[in-house]
Amino acid sequence: MAGLTYKDAGVDLDVYTESMSRLPKLMRRTFSPRVLRLDGGFAGLFQLDFNSRLFSRNYSQPVLVSGTDGVGTKLKVAQLTGCHSTVGIDLVAMCVNDVLCCGAEPLFFLDYVAMAKDDPAQLEQIVQGISDGCVDADCALLAGETAIMPDLYAAGDYDLAGFCVGVVEKRSLIDGAAIAADDVLIGVASSGLHSNGFSLARKIVLEHAGLGIDDRIEEFGQTVGETLLTPTRIYARAVRQILGHYKVKNVVHGIAHITGGGLSENLARIVPAHLQTVVDRDAWPVPPVFDWLQQLGDVSAAEMERVFNMGLGIVLVVSPYFSESIMRMLSDAGHPNWQIGHVAAASSK
């Protein structure tokens, strides 16, 4: 009688090897000359600075900025549809957009994929999305880990986590301290739900309304699955262009990534205590997907605004003198945006 093997325990090392063989090409397409190749190594290497006309940064006081996040229960939608090529974009976006809030240039990204069993085609789809997100964010997919845990995850389930590291000059760090009364709030359009609120969205659509993942939503011209899987927008190029344009003057005083907690809670994270934001809720068009969800689930307006981004992916808090110029730059970069309010002195109690 043959002894037990790893395959008997649910992990097929031959299939795992096939899975790993599909990934290097997806990583290499994200590399810049700042990546130091270490094929077969146990870590990824990235050179912060070097003498090159194209890549030299000549940092004075570089500050490393790091962020980590996941995709949440949006993965359940991907698993229901069998489409796994966009959640990797979401993973990169959620991490990169956080790092941008400090004014950092995203440098590199690492992913962690945990699966019930090896599925080379499914893993390749997932990492293709991660690779696409890294290309969009101009950061290198430097390394990652794939864990096969059949006793921890049910068949077909998987989870994702991402880690992004960026860099910013200390003098250019954006931490909200420079926010002042009369600063302008510029809201930048989201692509839809992004990657927050999916426990509520799934409950509304799949349980309360009883819709199927392949049911067609006529007013959107898409299926339920396609609507919910619209990938999160990545704002790296536009934000870096704005910050690069104003290298001497720090005209962007704060950046908020509108995720869980909605607009009010995420703006409150960056505004000093002696100030408050005044937001005009009619200043931007709320995408139809939010009205659809609200009506479908009979959700209160307050709950919608606390759970979802309501059409704004990030908000820039900027000097009023430069607001129109920044709005034009965002529009030219393909990001619809609106002046949604301003900063004022906090009301005394």
pTM of the full structure: 0.95
Last residue of a domain, one of 172, 203, 220: 172
152-156: average pLDDT? 91
Residues 55 and 196 both lie in one domain: no
- Residue 139 tokens read as 């950061």
Give me the half-sphere count of Cα atoms (radius 13 Å) on the Cβ side of residue 177.
6
Burial classification of residue 247, based on how many CB atoms lie within 10 Å of its CB (0-12 exposed, 13-18 middle, 19 or more buried): exposed
196 dihedral zone (left: phi>0; alpha: psi -120 to 50; beta): beta
Read off the tokens for 282: 């009619």
Q: Is residue 285 part of a domain?
A: yes
What domain range includes position 322? 184-345
Phi, psi of 237 (to 5 degrees): -65, -45
Mean pLDDT for the stretch of residues 35-55: 85
pLDDT tops 70 at residue 93: yes
| 143/232 same-domain check | no
Tens digits of per-residue pLDDT, 49-82?
877 777 788 899 999 999 999 999 999 999 999 9
Spatial contact of 160 and 88, defined as CB atoms under 8 Å apart = yes
Which of the residue ranges 21-30, 98-107, 146-155 has the most confident prediction, judged by mean pLDDT?
98-107
Per-residue model confidence (pLDDT) at position 70 = 97
**192 shares a domain with 103:** no
Q: What is the CATH number of the domain that holds 192?
A: 3.90.650.10
Same structural domain, 128 and 50: yes
* 169 pLDDT above the threshold of 60: yes
* Mean pLDDT, residues 309-330: 98
Q: Is residue 2 part of a domain?
A: no
Is the same domain home to 144 and 251?
Answer: no
1 located within any domain: no
336-340: average pLDDT: 98
pLDDT score, position 348 = 64
Stretch 200-222: mean pLDDT: 96
Task: With a cut of 60, say whether residue 334 has pLDDT above it.
Answer: yes
Q: What total number of domains does the chain contain?
A: 2
Rounded average pLDDT over 160-172: 96
pLDDT of residue 1: 58
Average pLDDT over residues 162-189: 97
Residue 179 lies in a domain: no
Asked whether residue 40 falls in the same domain as residue 120, the answer is: yes
User: How confident is residue 249, by pLDDT bands cut at 50, 70 and 90?
Assistant: confident
Residue 297 backbone dihedrals phi, psi, to 5 degrees:
-105, 0
Asked, for residue 235, whether it belongs to a domain, the answer is yes
* Residue 332 domain flag: yes
Which pLDDT band, with edges at 50, 70 and 90, does 38 fall under? Answer: confident
- The dihedral over CA atoms of 36, 38, 43, 45, expressed in degrees to the nearest 10, equals -10
**Which of 109, 144, 172 is the C-terminal boundary of a domain?**
172
**160 and 218 part of one domain:** no
Looking at residue 238, what is its pLDDT?
98
Same domain for 18 and 99: yes
- 120 plus 205 within the same structural domain: no
User: Do 166 and 270 fall into the same domain?
Assistant: no
Given CA atoms 247, 251, 256, 262 in this order, what sign does their dihedral have?
A: negative
**Residue at which a domain ends, from 117, 148, 172:** 172
CATH assignment at residue 136: 3.30.1330.10
Distance CA 65, CA 109 (A): 12
- Is 299 found in the same domain as 319? yes
pLDDT of 184 reads 98
In a domain, 92, yes or no: yes
- Percent of the residues in the chain that have a pLDDT greater than 90, as a whole number: 83
Q: Are residues 64 and 193 in the same domain?
A: no
pLDDT of residue 256: 98
Contact present, 120 and 217 (Cβ < 8 Å): no
